[in-house]
Structure 1
């Protein structure tokens, strides 16, 4: 018997029991759609992390000082002396004060204020939308100048040009010299969009902050990152006579860890979704066993008029594969639709469709039909004609 004839017979059987067929497909549909959707969400998350990684800089190291002991005392000149170390291209020490009152005219908002130097913007991969960034002269003369993020500019000025306007920062008047382009958050969870950036010496005096708590250090190349990290570790250990009270974050290691965690979670969710496929396969086996029982007399008649064992085996195997394949196709369409719709449901979550994953999920669903349909098909093919004809 030709495959096309078997396919036509299988389609006739499927059409004769549409509700039972749909219920049988349900496990496969849920499994395939879940796999595709979860993988697209996982890949979207990985791409989002990669974008943040690019925004932070591949060769960037972040030094953080913690606690209230000796490991909190670093001044600007000490940190900047390290910039002459071979392998280090730039250093941007920072002081940060969160939730600081910022006023313009009758509007008052709270934003993070960052005190830093003229290297900071390049290290953070930010860009100026209008005006200029901090200059060395602003640090030398402790000028009361400020560069604001795009969110700050929109909040206070809307579409108006804020350059040369004056705002009140923690009780001191600062002149706006620049506005940053919209950038979004980086892997450290900070955002230049909502930042108010001032010269570090000016902030130290106005906010009465004596020591630097963090610094960004950029290695000259990717090959220098490990060596620069070792130099910083030796410097801090020697200065504070301790290996505690400070830490150094390597952006590459941080991103790799986050991507690994995201990938692990996605794989676990996909494994759970794959169980639905196996459950669907068990459902197919169950229904095919019922079908064999219902069609025992039909099998006996076909065998008595010359149908061979392989014909019966192929007939029921094609039916099981057809049901599973149709469920896989519906699941594929549903999974793609959910993946495309998910960013609208949850705007903060990106998705990235993978055609290869969709193809593998569909092929696996068809394979499930073959595997779980094999036993019922084999059972049907082994029925003896005389016993099948006697079956009531």
Structure 2
């Protein structure tokens, strides 16, 4: 019997019971579409992480000091002495005041205020929308000046020009000298858009913050990041006589860790979705067993007029494979559609379609039909003509 004849017979059987066929396909459709959609979401997340780190720079190190007391503190000058040595291009120490009260006229809001130096903007890959950024003179003379993010400017000034206006920051007046361009959240979940940046010495005096808790360190090139990290670790260990109380984050390691975590979660979700394919395969096996039972007399008649066991086996195997393949194709189209529509449903989540994953999911769905259709097909092919003809 030719392949086309087998397909025609299978299609005729499917058309005879359309509702039952659709319900049988449902598990395969859900499984394939879920796999494609979840992989697209996972890959979109990974690409979003890459974009965030590309915007920040892969040759950036973040030093965090977590200890208490003078034995685990560094001042501004101690940090800046490292600049220009051992492959270090620039350093931006920071100190922060979380949820500081910021007022303008009668409007009041809480923002995180950060004290830093003139290198901070370049290290964070930010840009000025208007005005200027902090200068060395602002640090030397402890000027009461501030650079604000786009969200802060919109909150207090709307469409008006905020330059040379004064903000009340926890009771101290700061003159706005610049506004940052909108950038969005960075890899740490913070945002320059909602930033209030002031000279570090001024903030240290006004807010009575004596110690620096973090600093951004930029290596001269990506190849020197590991060397700079080793130098910083040796310096801090020697300075504090301990390997605890501080840590150093490498941007390259962070992106690898976050992508690994995202990939692991995606794989787990895909594994769960793949269970639907197995369930769909069991459904196919069940319906094919029912089909064999319903068509026992047909099988007996075909065998009595010369049909071989191979013909009966292929007939039911092709039918099972066709059902799962059609379900896989519908699931493929549904998965692609859902993946494309997902960013509109959830604008904060990107998706990235993978042709290879879609192809593998479809082929796997067809394989499910072959595997789970084999037993019913084999059972049908083993029926003896005399027994099949006696079946009522």
TM-score normalized by the length of structure 1? 0.97
Matched residue, 1:102: 102
Matched residue, 2:251: 251
Q: How far did residue 76 of structure 1 move?
A: 0.9
Secondary structure at the counterpart of residue 83 of structure 1 = coil
Question: What stretches of structure 1 move > 4 A for 4+ residues in a row?
Answer: none
Matched residue, 1:218: 218
Matched residue, 2:265: 265
Check whether the contact 2:86–2:231 (CA below 8 A) recurs between aligned residues. no
Deviations 1:248-300 (A, max 9, x none): 11111111111111111111111111111111111111111111111011111
Matched residue, 1:208: 208
Matched residue, 1:48: 48
Q: How far did residue 340 of structure 1 move?
A: 2.4
Check whether the contact 1:70–1:240 (CA below 8 A) recurs between aligned residues. no
Check whether the contact 1:71–1:245 (CA below 8 A) recurs between aligned residues. no
Check whether the contact 1:147–1:196 (CA below 8 A) recurs between aligned residues. yes
Q: Distance in 1 between matches of 2:293 and 2:135?
A: 86
Q: How far did residue 113 of structure 1 move?
A: 0.7
Kindly report the root-mean-square deviation, in angstroms, between the aligned alpha carbons of the 2 structures.
Answer: 1.4
The runs of 5 or more residues in structure 2 that have no matched partner are: none
Query: Number of paired residues?
Result: 392
Check whether the contact 1:65–1:71 (CA below 8 A) recurs between aligned residues. no
Q: How far did residue 306 of structure 1 move?
A: 2.4
Q: How far did residue 319 of structure 1 move?
A: 0.7
Matched residue, 2:368: 368
Deviations 1:310-339 (A, max 9, x none): 222221111101110111112112212222
Secondary structure at the counterpart of residue 347 of structure 2 = coil
The runs of 5 or more residues in structure 1 that have no matched partner are: none
Check whether the contact 1:72–1:212 (CA below 8 A) recurs between aligned residues. no
Check whether the contact 2:67–2:73 (CA below 8 A) recurs between aligned residues. no
1:14-33 correspondence runs (5 A): 14-33=14-33
Deviations 1:69-109 (A, max 9, x none): 23542111111000031310000000111111111111111
Q: How far did residue 36 of structure 1 move?
A: 0.9
Q: Distance in 2 between matches of 1:373 and 1:208?
A: 75
Change (3 A) 1:71 1:290: farther
Q: Distance in 1 between matches of 2:104 and 2:382?
A: 87
The reply to whether residue 315 of structure 1 matches residue 315 of structure 2 is yes
Secondary structure at the counterpart of residue 98 of structure 1 = strand
Matched residue, 1:383: 383
Secondary structure at the counterpart of residue 389 of structure 1 = helix
Q: Distance in 2 between matches of 1:363 and 1:162?
A: 60
Q: How far did residue 382 of structure 1 move?
A: 2.2
Check whether the contact 1:72–1:211 (CA below 8 A) recurs between aligned residues. no
TM-score normalized by the length of structure 2? 0.97
1:187-206 correspondence runs (5 A): 187-206=187-206
Matched residue, 2:78: 78
Q: How far did residue 55 of structure 1 move?
A: 2.2
Q: Distance in 1 between matches of 2:70 and 2:189?
A: 27
Matched residue, 1:155: 155
Q: How far did residue 39 of structure 1 move?
A: 0.7
